């Protein structure tokens, strides 16, 4: 037994020597900490995003980076747990990394907004900026808005407004089905709000919350939807909760539209397949077919560059916009000082990959950006995840369309 322990100790010593012997990275880079789930059930999202960021940073760095330096990503695993994210934040600030970026989960996002705000109040000489690229809860740039957070993705309300604007005029009866947790409830709330505002002619014939990730058999829901004689099911469901719903609908011969917010998430097209043809729509930030339809060759070439080496599709244009705006802001500030970069980002206008104008609104630090409503169709240039079907753009909700009021009352640092 003792010899085993001794052997293990030796092994550890060898490993630590080997690790310590590696030369330190000599090149001076601008570090950006990236907090997302890289293990556990949500790891597929974090893994994919990490690859996408690799592709995006190659372009941004080739374009010159910022201050003549390259960006370098430092990943931290949060397992989609706010507590883990805060531990990561501690480690990030200890290493003096000036930016923390996070793209999955509003619960983690809320914790980071709070954590970063407190850290900056306590350590004015070691401040950090939170770049939100995927915590979608509307509150984060409204009631809970914070000076140190910049959100580079549309919030739930913007997506809801885009989705309702895109509904065809002949849809008169809709059924809302959402997951019973924070995100599902806010989708439900904002969908109702914008239905009442934009389409008072539509009758909500069903409004239901279902347990998140617990339902294995959707047949009873299909039966209820059928009985309600709805023409469209509007849902914020994603992953398994969406795939099983659509499968059950096709099996039971339910012929309605599925107007979703997140059907395009990676793995969705593969899992749904031909079952989604002619009935499935989604709200995207970008899709390879957008530049093809609008004849934007640069954007098409960029998305094809990703497609050539990956099974998935490039849809993360806001990630690119984020790094391009960040690089400009750092150049303008002349340093990576959080306050100076934040002031440079405020009100910054830019054009996204496709060529549409975007703006980082000063009042709430929400990026104002366009959204695309698309339906799942064979009639496309680029299919999604090699399924033979892809997202055909039906409607573009422009940046002006989605410039929604905010209730944010931001506390600004005395500068």
Partner 1 sequence: METVLISVLNGLVYGMLLFMLASGLTLIFSMMGVLNFAHASIYMLGAYLAFTASQFLGFFPALIIAPVVCGLIGAAIEIWGLRRVHHNGHIAELLFTFGLVFIIQRLVQMTWGMLPMAYRVPPVLDFPLFSLYGVNFPAYRAFMLLVSGAMLLGTWLLLKKTRVGLIIQAALTHPNMVSALGHNVPRVFTIVFAGGCLLAGLAGVIGGNYQTTEPGMADSMGPIVFVVVVFGGLGSLAGCVVASIIMGMIQTFAVVIDYSISDILRPLGVVFTGDTLFTEILTVPVARIGALLPFVMMVTILFFRPRGLLGTRDT
Binding site for partner 1 (CB under 8 A): 41, 43-44, 47-48, 180, 208-211, 213-217, 219-224, 226-227, 239-240, 243-244, 247, 251-254, 266-267, 270-271, 273, 311-312, 385, 387
Determine which helix (DSSP H) or strand (DSSP E) holds 15, and give its type and residue range.
helix 2-20
> Which residue number, 173 or 332, has a Cβ lying nearer to partner 1?
173
How near is the Cβ of 40 to partner 1 at its closest, in Å? Answer: 9
What is the secondary structure of 67-116 as a DSSP string? TTBEEEEEEEE-TT-HHHHHHHHHHHHHTT-SEEEE-S-HHHHHHHHHHH
Instruction: Tell me how far, at minimum, the Cβ of 279 lies from partner 1, in Å.
Output: 15
User: 40 vs 413, which CB is nearer to partner 1?
Assistant: 40
Please give the C-alpha separations between residue 290 and each of 88, 163, 318, in angstroms, as whole numbers. 37, 17, 14
Question: Which of 205, 212, 217, 215 shows the shortest CA–CA distance to 251?
Answer: 217
Q: Which is nearer to partner 1, 48 or 157 (CB)?
A: 48
CA dihedral 216, 217, 220, 223 (to 10 degrees): 130
User: From residue 383, how far is each of 285, 376, 391, 394 by CA, in Å?
Assistant: 17, 9, 7, 16
Q: Cβ 285 to partner 1, closest distance in Å?
A: 19
Least Å from the CB of residue 385 to partner 1: 8
* Shortest spacing between CB 28 and partner 1, in angstroms: 34
Least distance between partner 1 and beta carbon 332 (Å): 39
Rounded to 10 deg, the angle between the 317-333 and 338-345 helix axes is 120
Beta carbon of residue 378, minimum distance to partner 1 (angstroms, whole number): 16
Question: In the complex, what is the shortest distance from the CB of residue 275 to partner 1, in angstroms, rounded to a whole number?
Answer: 9
* Contact by Cβ (8 Å): 346, 360: yes
Note whether 166 and 281 are within 8 A (CB): yes
* Burial annotation 169-179 (CB, 10 A radius, 16+ → b, else e): eebeebbbbbb
Torsion of CA 160, 161, 163, 166, to 10 degrees: 170
User: Which region, left, alpha or beta, applies to residue 347 given φ > 0 means left and ψ of -120 to 50 means alpha?
Assistant: left
Distances (CA, A) of 70 to 29, 96, 330: 5, 17, 12
Q: What are the Cα distances from residue 284, in Å, to 4, 153, 192, 316, 377?
A: 56, 11, 20, 9, 15
Distance from C-alpha of 40 to C-alpha of 189, rounded to nearest angstrom: 29
Whole-number minimum distance, CB 234 to partner 1, in Å? 17
Residue 207 β-bridge partners: 176
């Amino acid at each position: 037994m003792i010899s085993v322990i001794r052997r293990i100790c030796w092994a550890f010593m060898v490993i630590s020597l080997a690790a310590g012997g590696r030369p330190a990275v000599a090149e001076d880079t601008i570090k950006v900490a990236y907090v997302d789930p890289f293990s556990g059930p949500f790891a597929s999202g974090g893994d994919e995003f990490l690859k996408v960021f690799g592709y995006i940073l190659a372009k941004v760095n080739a374009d010159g980076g910022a201050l003549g330096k390259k960006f370098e990503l430092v990943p931290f695993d949060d397992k989609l747990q706010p507590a883990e994210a805060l531990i990561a934040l501690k480690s990030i600030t200890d290493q003096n990394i000036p930016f923390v970026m996070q793209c999955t989960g509003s619960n983690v996002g809320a914790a980071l907004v709070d954590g970063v705000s407190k850290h900056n109040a306590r350590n004015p000489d070691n401040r950090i900026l939170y770049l939100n690229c995927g915590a979608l809860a509307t509150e984060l740039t409204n009631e809970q808005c914070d000076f140190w957070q910049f959100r580079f993705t549309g919030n739930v309300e913007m997506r809801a407004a885009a989705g309702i604007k895109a509904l065809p005029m002949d849809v008169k009866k809709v059924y809302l089905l959402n997951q019973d947790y924070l995100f599902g409830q806010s989708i439900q709330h904002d969908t109702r709000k914008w239905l009442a505002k934009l389409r008072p002619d539509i009758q909500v014939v069903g409004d239901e919350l279902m347990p998140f990730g617990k339902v294995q058999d959707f047949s009873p829901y299909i039966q209820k939807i059928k009985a309600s004689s709805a023409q469209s099911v509007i849902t914020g469901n994603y992953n398994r909760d969406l795939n099983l719903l659509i499968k059950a609908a096709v099996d039971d011969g339910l012929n309605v539209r599925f107007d979703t917010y997140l059907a395009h998430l990676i793995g969705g097209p593969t899992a749904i397949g031909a079952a989604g043809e002619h009935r499935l729509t989604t709200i995207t930030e970008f899709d390879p077919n957008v530049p093809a339809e609008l004849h934007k060759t640069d954007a098409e070439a960029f998305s094809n560059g990703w497609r050539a080496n990956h099974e998935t599709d490039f849809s993360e244009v806001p990630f690119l916009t984020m790094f391009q705006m960040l690089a400009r802001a750092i150049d303008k500030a002349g340093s990576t000082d959080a306050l100076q970069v934040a002031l440079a980002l405020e009100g910054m206008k830019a054009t996204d990959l496709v060529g549409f104008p975007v703006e980082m609104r000063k009042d709430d630090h929400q990026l104002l950006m366009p959204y695309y409503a698309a339906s799942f169709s064979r009639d496309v240039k680029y299919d999604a995840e090699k399924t033979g079907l892809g997202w055909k753009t039906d409607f573009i909700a422009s940046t002006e369309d989605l410039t929604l009021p905010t209730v944010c009352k931001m506390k600004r640092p005395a500068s």
